[in-house]
Amino acid sequence: MITASIVLYHENLETLKKTIDSFLKTPLEKKLYLIDNSATNKLESYFHHPEIEYCFVGKNIGFGKAHNLVLNKINSKFHLILNPDVIFEKDIISILIKQLEIQKNVAFVTPKIVYPNGSMQFVCRKNPTFFDLLNRKLKFSKRHIFNNEYQNLDLQNFFYPEFIHGCFMLFNTEDFKKLEGFDERYFLYMEDADLCRKIYEIHKKILFYPEVIVEHQHQQGSSKDLKLFLRHTSSAIKYFLKWGL
């Protein structure tokens, strides 16, 4: 059995339907948890399905804390952390599960992620540093960004990066529970980077597996919205206080 969780916050309904349909088409025993941080529960009426459990929070408690609400509910072998703007084919999850079964030292696997136009999203990164985040905003060094995103490697081959952005993270549920999910001190942003650091601390790895592809809309909200940018900055401060610069 596989479970999945999606955190909602005033989502675009049409995009969300495509994501949910992608998961429900997966030919496995499954259950999807929709954790809704929106102010109202109007999304609930659209998703009555025996394989869906809708969880209305009533306020925005943040990304990681919302995903953690299902930690004590899931009894699956594999658990998928999924963004509400991701589309994929029905056999993707089964292929990735095989990699987790083969590679017992891997805590989670992520496929190749592309934009709607088919261009690649560079979700693999080296562990963030203060200079990395500043450089991504101000573009001091394009070469540093290039290397930080592992673009100096052949990204058509699988490998084990230090950190993967978390729009599609397929976990061994046992590992996700052992890690106690996300650090809830991060309201939004950096919680995936933090989780990857914790994975390596328990002597596990994360796997980038580009032989299968998913499409991610990826809004890049913090670069467009001042409030989200401040959220990102706050999370970065917490991350560096915890892990160092």
Q: How much is the pLDDT for 224?
A: 60
- CA-to-CA distance for 245 and 242, rounded, in angstroms? 9
pLDDT at 220 over 60: no
pTM comes to: 0.94
pLDDT at 221 over 60: no
Q: How much is the pLDDT for 219?
A: 65
- CA-to-CA distance for 113 and 212, rounded, in angstroms? 9
Q: Which tens digits make up the pLDDT trace of 149-158?
A: 999 999 999 9
Q: How much is the pLDDT for 156?
A: 95
φ/ψ (deg, to 5) at 158: -70, 150
What average pLDDT is seen over the chain?
Answer: 94
pLDDT at 55 over 90: yes
Measured in residues, the chain has a length of 245
Q: Which run of H or E residues covers position 214?
A: strand 205-216
- CA-to-CA distance for 195 and 162, rounded, in angstroms? 11
Q: Which tens digits make up the pLDDT trace of 9-30?
A: 999 999 999 999 999 999 999 9
Residues 6+ apart with CB under 8 A from 192: 163, 164, 165, 166, 169, 182
pLDDT at 183 over 60: yes
Contact 127, 150 (CB under 8 A): no
φ/ψ (deg, to 5) at 207: -115, 130
- pLDDT range class, residue 231, cuts 50, 70, 90: confident
Domains, the chain, in order of start with CATH, read 2-243 (3.90.550.10)
DSSP 8-class letter at 196: H
- 30-36 and 2-8 beta bridge pairing: parallel
pLDDT at 223 over 70: no
